[in-house]
Amino acid sequence: MSKNVQSAQRDQTQNGQQEQILTVKNLRKTFGGITAVADVSFHVEKGSITGLIGPNGAGKSTTFDLITGVQRPDGGAVEFNDTEITGYRSDQVANQGLVRTFQIARELSEMTVLENLMLAPQNQVGEAIWRAVLPRARTQVVEQEKALRKQAWEMLELFEIEHVAHESAGNLSGGQRKLLEMARVLMTDPEMVLLDEPLAGVNPTLEEKLIDRLHTLKEQGYTFLFVEHDMDVIMNNCDTVIVMHQGSVLTEGQPDTVKNNDKVLDAYLGEEVTI
Amino acid sequence: MSTGSIQARAEGWLGNNDVRLLIALALAIGGLYALFSVVLGFQLNGTVNTLRRVAFLSAIYAMLALALNLQWGYAGLFNLGAAGFMAIGVYTMGILTAPVTASPPGFGLPLPVAILGAILVTGLIGGLAALPAIRLRADYLAIVTVAFSEIVRLTLRAPEFANTRIAGVAFGTGGATGLSLPSNPIRILFYTDPAATAPAPNALGAAIFSAVEPLGIEETLVIGWAYVVVLCLCLGLLYWLMVRIGKSPFGRVLKSIREDQQVTQALGKDTRLFKIKTFALGCALMGLIAILWRLSGGYASPRMFKPIQTFYIFIALFIGGTGSPTGSIVGGALFASLLFEGPSFIRRVVAESLQLSNAPDTLVAAIVELGSGDVIPLLAYSVQDVSISALRLMLLGIVLVYLMQRHPDGLLGHRKAIASSVDLSQRETREDDYE
């Protein structure tokens, strides 16, 4: 059964009312002789939590990089909200409302947690140097800064990290960094967030908290695509699961279907799988 | 604005610990020099002149460190070509102001126009120089810029451009002989016709000159001090500008670029533009500061813009600590007063207090004298003019090694001013929140 038929079937099962927010078509990337991403096509539905799984080296992170402009694809196309964003720089992708986190939390360690959050919002008037300096234009900057400050504190409350607001991000624990990174991308006011292993190195209590937030945010209309290795997390929380193997999409579908797919099992057990 | 609010502002400034620190530092350095001069019985004119020279260089190096701090401290742009951009600023100004009839000829523009033009040209060239390098890592930018600054210097020195004509426009750099600059513009305060060789003082000039004459203080010294006052005002303005930029959303983006460019870009910031703008602005400021520096001497030469000039600024910045404007000023002042001017002052102190006779010709000769228990020849040898500049370099090396070992973050330590235009500890907007 081809992927397209599968997707069509799922769309039907969900009343066919889903809107696609991200579409990836035949994405390809090679590094020298190594093909990291061979031919990846999938789509993500608006307002969903979609899981991207696959064994190590399946090309998940590279796919993320290609979608978000960290690397340029050798072929294929990425569409976000009906706009073709293939080959966009990562800042352009982010400005479209598609942001990402990194596999290893990359907090800006010398900046405080609040500074990290204040950095993220788009279209800050004070990012024009003359407005930062000229007194009259600066009132505008200060007004916006106050609004952002309020927003930042709300975000800290949502992720329950208010107590470290003034701490340098570098002093946070691994789990707190993950929370911060999540809070920071949300401050950009995105439509969709790509999370690269958001739960790696996070303790169970915090993990629960993060997943809980994910669902709250989903209710608010955000879309998530996330890479994760914990099968239980994926199976219990995702609307759709995409399985990658050796640079291609092995299968995609609802968690229950994917879980019982023999090819997926084989791929994880290291068997040869024909796609 | 009412007097009350001005007073409140002034009190606010003085209440600021950093401003207090800077004032205390200036008093301490000045006091140290004055003390030595008085104890050793130097003449008043000489003492005041020493103080002027120290204050002048301190202000200049503090400003240069501030400009470099914008690039390196704020944004992590490793500009090893500062001297080159300084040269571009000074020479552009010089060529624009040189009379059309002079040799080499120029464009004969008025000084303010020329300074503005020089700032624009330096900024533009800075932006262009950054373009190919902006995608590179810090160390590559350093290589590109140091090469660029040498290209600038050698071009200015080249005889081909000393007196040339391009597209029918005659101008020139003066080559290795250098370029005459306009006379110190501060003279206009004191003279009716400042350009004349023996100008007549105006009312203000006459009043001040006659007031200080009984003290043995010369006219040139008064002019020199007036210029230092102007420089200090410029320094204050630049400091204010840098604090403002550091606290702005623009500065926040720079701070995050320094930490992790990829993350910054992933958050939707066009990091290339931020870097180019910052680099161009920093270079333009360096050009302007170099103009302020060289206008006081009325002369520019390629020798003034060797790579060592760039390293001096870096050392000044490292002493104070990168990232904070206050640190830049502390570093600039300490560098200029103690490391740069200190050795020659000590030479004068030693020479005058020990009544040194002629120094031996070679180091060996000086050391041989040690055998007879006489240390004076060695002392005399080491405080000659030639050895002093060598001593200065040694001193700089030692200080640099010490700093890197013990205070890698500079004397002020690692200072992290919060990059925000509002107080982040307040959650909600309150009435008294307006700055």
In a mutational test of the A interface, the residue from B424, B425, B428, B431 whose CB has the highest number of chain A CBs within 10 Å is B424
Task: State pLDDT tens for residues B257-302.
Answer: 999 988 999 999 999 999 999 999 999 999 999 999 999 988 999 9
Angle at which helices B203-212 and B219-247 pack, to 10 degrees?
110
Contact assignment for B250 to A114 by CB distance below 8 Å: no
pLDDT at A28: 93
Best-predicted range by mean pLDDT (A71-80, B171-180, B199-208):
A71-80
Name the percent of chain B lying above pLDDT 90: 45
- B217 pLDDT tier (thresholds 50, 70, 90): confident
- B433 pLDDT band, cuts 50/70/90, is very low
Residues 204-233, chain B, touching A (beta carbon < 8 A): none
Are the Cβ atoms of B263 and A99 closer than 8 angstroms?
no
Task: Say if the Cβ atoms of A142 and B271 lie within 8 Å.
Answer: no
**Under a CB-based contact definition with an 8 Å cutoff, are residues B73 and B324 in contact?**
yes
CATH fold of A3-107+188-268 reads: Rossmann fold (3.40.50)
Find the CB nearest A119 among B253, B422, B426. Answer: B253
Q: Which residue of A has its CA nearest to B256?
A: A108
pLDDT of residue B172: 86
Q: Please tell me the predicted confidence (pLDDT) of residue B257.
A: 92
**Chain A residue numbers touching B435 (CB-CB < 8 A):** 142
Q: How far apart are CA B119 and CA B288, in angstroms?
A: 6
- For B425, which of A129, A166, A184 is closest by C-beta distance? A166
Q: For residues B59 and B20, what is the distance between their CA atoms, to the nearest angstrom?
A: 17
Kindly report the nearest CA distance between residue B130 and chain A, in angstroms. Answer: 18
Q: Which residue from A120, A125, A128 is facing B267, i.e. has the nearest CB?
A: A120
Helix or strand or coil: residue B434?
A: coil
The DSSP code sequence of chain A is --HHHHHHHHHHHTTT---EEEEEEEEEEEETTEEEEEEEEEEEETT-EEEEE-STTSSHHHHHHHHTTSS--SEEEEEETTEE-TT--HHHHHHTTEEE--SS----TTSBHHHHHHH--SS-GGGSHHHHHSHHHHHHHHHHHHHHHHHHHHHHHHTT-GGGTTSBGGGS-HHHHHHHHHHHHHHT--SEEEEESTTTT--HHHHHHHHHHHHHHHHTT-EEEEE-S-HHHHHHH-SEEEEEETTEEEEEE-HHHHHT-HHHHHHHTT-----
pLDDT reported for residue B415: 65
For residue B382, being part of any structural domain is answered with no
Q: Which pLDDT does position A166 carry in this prediction?
A: 92
Which residues of chain B from 94 to 133 reach within 8 Å of chain A, CB to CB? none
pLDDT of residue A273: 64
Contacts of B262 in chain A (CB under 8 A): 70, 90, 106
Please indicate, yes or no, if residue B64 is contained in any of the structural domains. yes
Q: What is the pTM of this model?
A: 0.89
CB contact under 8 A, A127 and B249: yes
% of chain A exceeding 70 in pLDDT: 91
Is residue B384, in this structure, part of any structural domain at all?
no
CB-closest option in B250, B252, B269 to A118? B252
CB contact under 8 A, A70 and B416: no
Q: Mutation target for B interface from A108, A134, A166: give the one with most B CBs within 10 A.
A: A108
Fill in the DSSP letter of residue B95.
Answer: H
Q: Is the pLDDT of residue B132 over 90?
A: no
Q: Give me the percent of chain A exceeding a pLDDT of 90.
A: 52
Confidence (pLDDT) at B12: 64
What is d(CA B253, CA B404) in angstroms, rounded to the nearest whole number? Answer: 27
Residue span of the structural domain in which B282 resides: 43-302
* Mean pLDDT, range A47-54, rounded to an integer: 93
pLDDT tens-digit map of A122-153:
989 989 888 888 888 888 899 999 999 999 99
Asked if B392 has any chain A CB less than 8 Å from its own CB, the reply is: no
In this predicted structure, what is the pLDDT of residue A275? 58
Residues of A in Cβ contact (< 8 Å) with B246:
none
* B426 contact A CB<8A: yes
- State residue A66's pLDDT score: 94
**Residue B270 three-state SS:** coil
- At B15 the pLDDT is 62
Q: Which of A91, A133, A142 sits opposite B269 (nearest CB)?
A: A91
Strand partners, A196: A227
Q: Could you say which of B241, B256, B428 has the minimum Cβ distance to residue A111?
A: B256
* Shortest Cα distance, chain B CAs vs residue A265, angstroms: 34
Q: Using the beta-carbon criterion (under 8 Å), do A150 and B266 form an inter-chain contact? A: no
Report yes or no: B9 at the A interface, CB cutoff 8 Å.
Answer: no
Contact A145 B425 (CB under 8 A): no
Write out pLDDT tens, residues B220-259: 899 999 999 999 999 999 999 999 999 999 999 999 999 9
On the CB side of B79, how many CA atoms lie within 13 Å of its CA? 37
- Per residue in B49-100, pLDDT (tens digit) is 999 999 999 999 999 999 999 999 999 899 999 999 999 999 999 999 999 8
Quote the number of domains for chain B: 1
Question: Does B250 contact chain A (CB < 8 Å)?
Answer: yes
Per-domain boundaries in chain A: 3-107+188-268, 109-171
> By the CB < 8 Å criterion, does B271 face chain A?
yes
Q: What is the pLDDT of residue A2?
A: 41
Q: pLDDT, tens digit, for every residue of A206-223?
A: 888 889 889 999 999 999
Name the closest residue on chain B to residue A96, using Cα atoms. Answer: B268
Q: What is the pLDDT of residue A121?
A: 94
| CA–CA min distance A241, chain B (Å) | 25
Q: What is the pLDDT of residue B6?
A: 64
Contact A68 B266 (CB under 8 A): yes
Q: What is the pLDDT of residue A271?
A: 64
Q: What pLDDT is stored for residue B119 in this prediction?
A: 97
| pLDDT over 90 at B189, yes or no | no
**Within a domain: residue B312?**
no
Q: Is residue B13 part of a domain?
A: no
CB nearest to B263's CB, from A89, A106, A141? A106
Q: Which residues of A117-137 are buried (b: 16+ CB within 10 A; e: fewer)?
A: bbbbbbebbbbbbebbbeeee
Give the ipTM.
Answer: 0.87
Contacts of A190 in chain B (CB under 8 A): none
- Work out the mean pLDDT of chain B and round it to a whole number: 86
B424 with A114: Cβ contact below 8 A: yes
CA A206, A209, A211, A217: dihedral to nearest 10 degrees?
-140
Residues of A in Cβ contact (< 8 Å) with B281: 129
**Separation between Cα atoms, residue B217 and residue B117, nearest integer Å:** 37
CA atoms in the 13 A half-sphere facing the CB of A248: 11
Radius of gyration of chain A (CA): 20
- Would you call B270 an interface residue with chain A, using a CB distance cutoff of 8 Å? yes
Q: What is the pLDDT of residue A10?
A: 41
pLDDT of residue B5: 64
A102, A120, A141 ranked by CB distance to B248: nearest: A141
Per-residue pLDDT, B14: 60
